[in-house]
Amino acid sequence: MTIKLMQGNEAIGMGAIAAGCRFYAGYPITPSTEVAEILSRELPKLGGKFIQMEDEIASMAAIIGARVGGLKSMTATSGPGFSLMQENLGYAAMAEIPCVIVNVQRLGPSTGQPTAASQGDVMQARWGTHGDHPMIALTPVTVRQSFDLTVKAFNLSEKFRTPVILLTDEIIGHMREPVKLPAFETIHPYEQVVADTPESYKAFRNEPGDVPPMAPFGRGYRYHITGLFHDEVGFPTQRLDEIDPWLERVNHKFDRHLDEIIMVESDFQEGAKTAIVTYGATARSARHALKIARQRGLKVSMLTLLTIWPFPETQVESLGDQVDRIIVPEMNLGQLALEVERMVGRRKVKRVNRANGEMVTPQMILDAIEG
């Protein structure tokens, strides 16, 4: 493919197409709307389907319904819409329906500032829906990564039968960069294989660490899907000997696959006693600050998180063993910093926060490095 000037949101749309997404349901909301506009144009060209639903609750419901029908599905939204999606996001986690939810974060709370950037939904992405559940959230830093991580989001969602959140923000979503996308033929979407016959199929088989494949409706595998706690064939249950194995399997289904799910970029400097842990648009400021600091002869390491959920515990913990302090810049009042503090202790963490819709500047991070 040729080099093209492309917006982050556009790259997400193209990534979805490349990953095999053939159904999109959404509700217009700034600053995510371009994703819907692009997919309303591109999906029918491929025989895919697009629908603009009556709200974000319905959008989230429709993508789950479409995936149950066999189409890979996605929705895109921003803060207020993401809040509305939480109940059905939990349903997807409970019923183990693969789907991708793009949240182009804007400044909150409430209506906040629709056109201003934020990283205020970090904790909502993890814990926004009620109850204990696994969750994956990916955070691109560039337009190209918006494409790549969208593809990755689909593949992870299929492989682990889980909703995956692409947690981007207004800056990356609306920023234009020259990108060269890979040829779509070189991308291999993950396809679930149902090996069982309808007679032996158990949609929610509780073998530890096992993710049973999901048979789409209408292909001979008649079974029950519910948001209630269920047994291995999907029937509601109140029996502890059926609930406990479910809890064990589903809440630990990523454990043996963290190498595949957790993506980080390390830029470590020998002898550095200061490090930056960063993600999303803020990583761009951090890169700039790092460059200037090193030009000034300071030794600084940097860890950029492309996966924030599940949190890269091992990577951050081992970084904490190497340095005396870790700077965590965020466009919020300190959310992922809580996780970093959990791994390395509060005394080592220096937070740099801005939650007024403006970017954390390189100077703010530089001041923290030098301070």
Question: Considering the complex, what minimum distance in angstroms separates the CB of residue 43 from other proteins?
Answer: 8
Among 7, 32, 33, 73, binds other proteins (CB under 8 A): 73
Q: What is the DSSP letter of 7?
A: E
Binding flag, residue 4, other proteins (CB under 8 A): no
> How far is C-alpha 64 from the chain's CA centre?
17
Applying CB under 8 A, does 219 fall inside the site for other proteins?
yes
Contact window for other proteins (CB under 8 A) among 132-140, 167-175, 221-229, 302-310: 221-229
69 lies in the site for other proteins, by CB under 8 A: yes
Q: Write the interaction track for other proteins spanning residues 178-217; mark x where CB under 8 A is met and - where it is not.
A: --------------------------------------xx
CA dihedral 340, 346, 347, 352 (to 10 degrees): 60
* Six-digit token string for 131: 């109850």
Give the binding range for other proteins (CB under 8 A) out of 167-175, 223-231, 271-279, 331-339.
223-231
- 3-state SS, 205-219, equals CCCCCCCCCCCCCCC
DSSP state of 286: H
Buried b (16+ CB within 10 A) or exposed e, 11-26: bbbbbbbbbbbbbbbb
Residues 6 or more apart whose CB falls under 8 angstroms from that of 227 comprise 90, 91, 94, 95
- Asked if 71 touches other proteins (CB under 8 A), the answer is yes
Name the one range near other proteins by CB under 8 A: 3-11, 180-188, 220-228, 335-343.
220-228
Does 66 engage in binding with other proteins (CB under 8 A)? Answer: yes
Among 127, 223, 229, 268, binds other proteins (CB under 8 A): 223
Of residues 23 and 82, the one with the C-beta less far from other proteins? 23
| Tokens, residue 307 | 């996966």
Cα 45 to Cα 40: distance, rounded to the nearest angstrom: 9
Smallest gap from residue 95 Cβ to other proteins (A): 9
- At residue 277, the 3 state secondary structure works out as strand
Query: Which tokens hold the place of 296?
Result: 């000034």
157 belongs to the binding site for other proteins (CB under 8 A) = no
The two structure tokens encoding residue 176: 């234009």
Specify the residue, 61 or 101, whose C-beta has the smaller distance to other proteins: 61
- Beta-carbon contacts of residue 100 (< 8 Å; ≥ 6 apart): 16, 21, 73, 74, 75, 150, 153, 154, 157, 163, 164, 165, 166
Rank residues 229 and 268 by Cβ distance to other proteins and give the closer one: 229
Question: Closer CB to other proteins, residue 70 or residue 245?
Answer: 70
Q: Tell me the per-residue interface mask from 25 to 54 with other proteins, x by CB under 8 A, - otherwise.
A: x---------------x--xx-x-x-x-xx
User: Residue 167 forms beta bridges with which residues?
Assistant: 103
Choice between 225 and 364, CB closer to other proteins: 225
Binding other proteins (rule: CB under 8 A), the pick from 28, 180, 188, 235 is: 235
Q: Give the length of the chain.
A: 371
The distance of closest approach from Cβ of residue 274 to other proteins in the complex, given in angstroms and rounded to an integer, is: 47
Contact 24, 50 (CB under 8 A): yes
Q: Under the criterion CB under 8 A, does residue 74 sit at the interface with other proteins?
A: no
3-state secondary structure of 102: strand
Residues 89 to 148: which contact other proteins by CB under 8 A?
91
- For other proteins, the closer of residues 82 and 91 by Cβ is 91
Cα–Cα distance measured from residue 328 to residue 325, given in angstroms and rounded to the nearest whole number: 10
Q: Binders of other proteins: how many residues, by CB under 8 A?
A: 44
Provide the CB-side half-sphere exposure for 202 (13 A, CA): 12
> By the criterion CB under 8 A, which residues form the site for other proteins?
23, 25, 41, 44-45, 47, 49, 51, 53-55, 57-59, 61-71, 73, 87-88, 91, 216-220, 222-228, 233, 235-236
